[in-house]
A and B are shown apart, each in its own frame.
Chain A
Amino acid sequence: MPGTTGCIAGLRRRGAIRLAAVAGITLVGAVCFFLFAPIIALFLRSTPGDFLSALHDPRVTQALVLSLETAIASTAFAVVLGTPAAYLHSRSRYPGRQLVEVIIDLPLILPPAVAGVALLMLWGRMGILGRYLHLAGIDIAFTTLAVVIAQAFVSSPLYIRQAKELFASLDPVYEQTAQTLGASPSTTFFRVVVPMTGAGLVSASIMAFARALGEFGATLMFAGNLPGVTQTMPLAIYSAMQGDFEMAITLSILLVIISFAIMALVRYTAKTGGPHA
Chain B
Amino acid sequence: MLEAAFTRELRDYTLAVELSARAGEIIVLMGENGSGKTTTLHCLSGLLSPDQGFIRLGERMLFHSGTRTNVPAEERQVGYVFQNAAVFPHMTVQENVAFGLRIRGLPRDTVQDRAAEWMDILELRDLEAVRASKLSGGQKQRVALARALAIEPRMLMLDEPFNGLDSASHEIVQLHIRESVYRLRIPCLLVTHRWVDASMLGDRVYSLRQGRISQPGPLPNSFPKFHAYEPRYGGQTSIPWKQ
| Chain A interface residues toward B at CB < 8 A | 171, 173-174, 176-184, 187, 191-192, 195-196, 198, 276-277
Count of chain B residues near A, Cβ 8 A: 29
Interface string of B126-146 (1 = CB under 8 A from A): 000000010000000000100
A179→B89 contact, CB < 8 A: no
Closest to A194 in B: B90
Q: Is B10 an interface residue (CB 8 A)?
A: no
Other than the given A176-B86, A180-B45, A182-B103, 18 more pairs (CB < 8 A) read A173-B82, A176-B80, A177-B88, A177-B144, A178-B99, A179-B46, A179-B73, A180-B46, A180-B79, A180-B157, A181-B74, A181-B147, A182-B75, A182-B77, A195-B88, A196-B88, A196-B90, A276-B89
A192→B88 contact, CB < 8 A: yes
Interface string of B82-115 (1 = CB under 8 A from A): 1110101110000000011001100000000000
Closest to B87 in A: A177
Q: Which residues of A contact B75 (CB under 8 A)?
A: 182
- Given known contacts A182-B75, A182-B151, A195 and B100 CB-to-CB distance under 8 angstroms: no
Q: Which residues of B contact A183 (CB under 8 A)?
A: 74, 99-100, 103
Q: Which residues of B contact A277 (CB under 8 A)?
A: 89-90, 133
Q: Which residues of A contact B82 (CB under 8 A)?
A: 173, 176-177
B residues 45-82 touching A (CB-CB < 8 Å):
45-47, 73-80, 82
Interchain pairs with CB closer than 8 A, number: 69
Q: Which of A171, A178, A184, A192 has the most CB of B within 10 A?
A: A178
B133→A180 contact, CB < 8 A: no
C-alpha spacing A181/B151, complex, angstroms:
7
- Given known contacts A180-B74, A181-B151, A182-B74, A187 and B103 CB-to-CB distance under 8 angstroms: yes
Q: How far does the Cβ of B14 sit from chain A's closest Cβ, in whole Å?
A: 21
A174→B77 contact, CB < 8 A: no
C-alpha spacing A195/B82, complex, angstroms:
20
Q: Which residues of A contact B103 (CB under 8 A)?
A: 181-183, 187, 191
Question: A180 is contacted by which of B80, B84, B89, B104 (Cβ under 8 Å)?
Answer: B80
C-alpha spacing A45/B78, complex, angstroms:
69
Closest to A176 in B: B47
C-alpha spacing A181/B88, complex, angstroms:
12
Closest to B147 in A: A181
Q: Which of B42, B76, B82 has the most CB of A within 10 A?
A: B82
Q: How far does the Cβ of A40 sit from chain B's closest Cβ, in whole Å?
A: 42
B74→A179 contact, CB < 8 A: yes
B84→A173 contact, CB < 8 A: yes
Q: How far does the Cβ of A197 sit from chain B's closest Cβ, in whole Å?
A: 10
Q: Which residues of A contact B157 (CB under 8 A)?
A: 180
C-alpha spacing A100/B49, complex, angstroms:
27
- Given known contacts A180-B74, A181-B103, A276 and B86 CB-to-CB distance under 8 angstroms: no
Q: Which residues of A contact B46 (CB under 8 A)?
A: 179-180
